[in-house]
Amino acid sequence: MSGDGVDTSKRRFLIAATTVVGGVGAVYTAVPFLASWMPSERAKAAGAPVEADISKLEDGQMIRVQWRGKPVWVVKRTEEMVKALPGLDAKLRDPESVDPQQPEYAQNVNRSIKPEILVAVGICTHLGCSPSFAPEAVPQPYDAEWKGGFFCVCHGSRFDLAGRVFQGVPAPLNLEVPPHKYISESLILIGDDRGAASRLL
């Protein structure tokens, strides 16, 4: 059999065309497969840092923002509230915040960067209910010497105005303090604390 009747240019064309089509098919298969490994835009948004504007927050007030699907409280404590915190130590389970429920910069009696501003995740550490904000220092049915704080109506856990848990209640830990930093005097970024210099202005 002689090679005189074989058209090699057609053969090369068919080989090249088959290779190109196979390569394109492989890319079309690989792209969605690799993309499935990446977090979705919705998942990225759920974990993205959020800003809290505290410019209109008055003494004794609280605002709520959502971060990672959780309520985050930002409370502006009065000078009297801040002064009352050390006097509660004997009644608290973890007054010095030894358990890692907060970043290092919030491991203090106020559990905050600035003494007057508390940033805490508003979920009880017992079974995940959201406690009520009870800032007034008035006798309550659950505590005759109440100095203000948070009360979980689900099972009776109590937290002071620094989110520290009282003794003798179901909640085992203080409220979580999320990573955060001050972008300006009136703007807090919750969920990102990179850049130590920007934590305090």
What's the confidence (pLDDT) of residue 177? 95
Question: What's 49's DSSP letter?
Answer: -
pLDDT in tens, the chain (201 residues): 455 667 788 888 888 888 888 888 888 887 777 666 665 556 555 678 888 999 999 999 999 999 888 999 999 999 999 999 998 888 988 888 888 889 999 999 999 999 999 999 999 988 878 888 888 878 787 787 888 889 998 888 999 999 999 998 998 999 999 999 999 999 999 988 887 444 454
Residue 62 lies in a domain: yes
In this structure, are 183 and 128 located in the same domain?
A: yes
In this structure, are 60 and 12 located in the same domain?
A: no
In this structure, are 91 and 149 located in the same domain?
A: yes
Q: How many residues does the chain have?
A: 201
The number of domains in the chain is 2
What's the confidence (pLDDT) of residue 198? 45
- Count the Cβ atoms, other than its own, within 10 Å of residue 179: 18
Domain of 162, CATH number, reads: 2.102.10.10
**Among candidates 81, 99, 112, 94, which has minimal Cα distance to 166?**
94
In this structure, are 76 and 110 located in the same domain?
A: yes
- Predicted TM-score of the model (pTM): 0.72
In this structure, are 158 and 89 located in the same domain?
A: yes
Range of the domain at 7: 3-35
Residue 40 lies in a domain: no
In this structure, are 85 and 11 located in the same domain?
A: no
In this structure, are 30 and 49 located in the same domain?
A: no
What's the confidence (pLDDT) of residue 16? 85
In this structure, are 49 and 17 located in the same domain?
A: no
CA 138 to chain centroid, in Å, comes to 31
In this structure, are 50 and 127 located in the same domain?
A: yes
In this structure, are 18 and 98 located in the same domain?
A: no
In this structure, are 192 and 165 located in the same domain?
A: yes
DSSP per position, 45-82: HHHS-EEEE-TTPPTT-EEEEEETTEEEEEEE--HHHH
Distance of alpha carbon 165 from alpha carbon 181, whole angstroms: 24
* Pair 171, 184: CB distance under 8 Å: no
* Pair 170, 158: CB distance under 8 Å: no
